[in-house]
Amino acid sequence: MRRKIQGKIFEICYIIEAGIAVVVGIAVVILCARLFWSMINSVASAEADELLVSILDTAMSLAIGVEFIKMLCKHTPQTVVEVLLFAIAKQLVVFHTTPFENLVNVAAIAGLFAVRRFLIRSEDRRTERSGKSKNTNAAAKR
């Protein structure tokens, strides 16, 4: 009885996660169109530096949104590391920070690459590339 209730709760959580992924996906598509439209409208009105920073900020936010959708759909360590990499890269590229903050961001990115290289198992990386979950692989072996 307890496992049955836990299974139902897990299914409900999975459906909610999928719904969140759909909502974020719709927002990303709308914001991509909005970014394109604002680029066309603001080319003549803004300074080049301000325009570039604005475009980079929005584009990196959209990329983080896409990676977040992937993380919600695939529950793997690899997708979590990718979301964190994009978030830290946005901080490093878009915002004007102090040299110490830049050093910390670069060290964090290096640490995430080290985590991906040394701590994520090779089975997880193969599963990530093939797009199959562990449950699908286990069912195929039977």
Segment 90-102 shows an average pLDDT of 88
Task: Report the domain count for the chain.
Answer: 2
Same-domain pairing of 57 and 84: no
Same-domain pairing of 57 and 81: no
Q: What is the pLDDT of residues 63-80, one digit of tens each?
A: 888 888 888 888 888 889
Last residue within a domain, chosen from 21, 46, 73: 73
- What is the extent of the structural domain holding 81? 77-136
- Using the Cα atoms of residue 90, residue 93, residue 94 and residue 100 in order, give the sign of their dihedral: positive
Would you say residue 141 lies in a domain?
A: no
Last residue within a domain, chosen from 73, 101, 121: 73
Same-domain pairing of 3 and 67: yes
**Straight-line distance from the first to the last Cα atom of the chain, in angstroms, rounded to the nearest whole number:** 27
Same-domain pairing of 60 and 89: no
Give the residue, 28 or 53, on which the prediction is more confident. Answer: 28
Q: What is the pTM of this model?
A: 0.68
Last residue within a domain, chosen from 73, 94, 127: 73
Backbone angles phi, psi at 43, to 5 degrees: -60, -40
Same-domain pairing of 125 and 62: no
The residue count of the chain comes to 142
